[in-house]
Structure 1
Amino acid sequence: MSASDTLLSAVPGSPSSGIKTLARLGFAAIGVVYVLMGVLALMAVTGLGRGERADREEAVQRLQDLPAGNVLLGLIALGLLGYIVWRFTQAIIDTESKGADAKGIGTRIWYAASGLVYSGLALYAARLALNGSAEKGGNTSKTLTATVLGWPGGEWLIMLAGVVVIGIAIYQMYRAYSGKFQKDVNASGLSAGQQQLVYRAGQVGFTARGVVLAILGYFLLKAGQQSRASAVGGTDEAFDFLAAMGPAVLGVVAAGLVAYGLFMLVQAKYPVLRGL
């Protein structure tokens, strides 16, 4: 057991070793998904793809083509479930000592919401592993948006959601360049050269992820302003939006998502997040 693990074990509310293992599986699963998603987008830019949409579900589906694909899909589903469990553990047990004031409660709600984001993908991967096929949930966001638009003041709620998503995107970029996570990387047990490489990969990855989230937030703003659910889009539509700016733009963001995936894979082996 390392010194950091010993320290974490001594922290009240620290998650059990089983929860920590689930979290690491989650990081690995998310890393694989982002690497595949970025590679699919890069293949589209270079003309090597088969016209697939470079979204998370397509990335997961491509695992079926690999040897023991169903086993890999099962591991991805398990990993994503582990990530969800870990996020809810953070929220409920307060493993990072955020407290019960307004800011702390907000942060803990964010942890739970972050886990729920991957619930649909976990279910999709599990259904693929068990049944060999699964229905994509691409229209879910449009259906939900249409429902909210039917409520009194629904347009404002959708625009508020767009502002929140854009705010999260800005935070991703702030995190990339504020240096806040550099001290966590430096405590990962990697050599100095490896720490620098991981830190730069995290910077590029968080920036690319922030760009994609900002576009998704823009889609929500547009949907609210126009009271049109069809204006909402997912990651694949965000890539189309970037592609319209030129293949180089899409290529840079796609490479950034690959970097983010690699950063998550490093986290699976060398946890650099507090509370783990």
Structure 2
Amino acid sequence: MSSVAPKDHREAIEKGARLGYLARALVFLVIGYFAFRSAFAGGQALSEEDAIRELVGSPFGMVMLVLLVVALPAFALWRYVQAFFDADGYGRDAKGIATRIGRFFSGCVYLFLAIYAGSLLFGFSTRDSGGGGVLEAWAPLFGPWFTVPAGLVMLAVAGAHVKRAWTGEFLKFLSLPPAHEGWMTALCRVGIVARAVVFATIAFLFFTSAWRWTPEDTPGVQDALTEIGQWPLGWLLLSLTGAGLMAFGGYCLALARYGHVRSPDLDPSKAMAAMRG
């Protein structure tokens, strides 16, 4: 019986991860589309929560919402597996630990989005509660100084994305079809760089408006896209960023279909045997 369990849970984790990548793709496709459209039509950029609301309002809204309620927790769980069990093999050096910590916080973000989607499905409030929890409790202590380390983290994440796109490091997690490898690789690079631009803009907001942002009110994707739209030639930059975020959605679709999901062995009997050994 123990020989079957690892296969079962590995298959379940892999399917959950791929479903989660699909949900992530939907969110970024919507965010990118509205950012691109707002550059020409004077609309408003969207946050992740706004993107989920737009998906709910689509012709297949209820189907989309049920998919998100199932897929987003699965993706959050996959992020936690990547963080705690080193499913991607990043190791325990400084870079590996930093990457795994990033996976953990990414899991927290998608778990929050899953809870938000669930609140829509089950009829709870659809409005943002405006911060809260631990960060709100600590806000009076950190004040605007919170923005400096947060900005540095965002800048480091942006740099890591650019490096990943430039070196092609992301390709080691993909097995793209040879007939389409060229354009799909280019699409993935564009998407990753576009997300780096968003992270860099969030860092810029942290650094230049330290008095404005607090731990319970931190800038996100929507604020970054709005800021880009206000720069010189902002309409052009925003349209390119929006198109790039749609490309990032395509990258997530590629991960859902062709990504390497390396689920670790979580069989408790083997873990106990290893401990006894």
Specify the alignment match of 1:127 in structure 2: 119
Q: Count residues in correspondence.
A: 256
- Please report how far the alpha carbon of residue 64 of structure 1 lies from its aligned counterpart in structure 2 after TM superposition: 2.1
Specify the alignment match of 1:191 in structure 2: 178
* More RCO (CA 8 Å, sep 6+): 2
8 Å Cα contact 1:176/1:207 also seen in 2: yes
d(CA) in 1 for partners of 2:32, 2:79: 24
d(CA) in 2 for partners of 1:177, 1:14: 37
d(CA) in 1 for partners of 2:220, 2:193: 18
Answer yes or no: is 1:215 the counterpart of 2:201.
Answer: yes
Larger deviation, residues 155-164 vs 113-122: 155-164
Specify the alignment match of 1:160 in structure 2: 149
* Residues 240 and 105 of structure 1, relative CA distance in 2, 3 Å threshold: closer
Specify the alignment match of 2:140 in structure 1: 150
Gap regions ≥5 residues in structure 2: 1-5, 265-277
Larger deviation, residues 103-112 vs 258-267: 103-112
Tell me the amino acid that sits aligned with residue 150 of structure 1. Answer: P
TM-score normalised according to structure 1 size: 0.81
* Residues 132 and 70 of structure 1, relative CA distance in 2, 3 Å threshold: farther
d(CA) in 1 for partners of 2:10, 2:247: 29
8 Å Cα contact 1:184/1:274 also seen in 2: no
Task: Choose from 167, 179, 182 the match for 1:178.
Answer: 167
Task: Choose from 261, 265, 269 the match for 2:253.
Answer: 265
Gap regions ≥5 residues in structure 1: 1-11
8 Å Cα contact 1:149/1:227 also seen in 2: no
Answer yes or no: is 1:86 the counterpart of 2:73.
Answer: no
8 Å Cα contact 1:57/1:124 also seen in 2: yes
Tell me the amino acid that sits aligned with residue 191 of structure 1. Answer: P
Task: Choose from 45, 48, 52 the match for 1:60.
Answer: 52
8 Å Cα contact 2:17/2:261 also seen in 1: no
Q: Percent identity?
A: 30
* Residues 80 and 231 of structure 1, relative CA distance in 2, 3 Å threshold: closer
8 Å Cα contact 1:128/1:134 also seen in 2: yes
1:137-190: CA deviations, max 9, x gaps?
5x328x977654522x654443112101110011111111112223444x33x1
Structural RMSD (CA): 2.9
The DSSP-based 3-state class of the residue aligned with 2:156 is helix
d(CA) in 2 for partners of 1:93, 1:232: 30
1:212-249: CA deviations, max 9, x gaps?
1111122223354x375398422212111111122001
Specify the alignment match of 1:9 in structure 2: none
The DSSP-based 3-state class of the residue aligned with 1:207 is helix
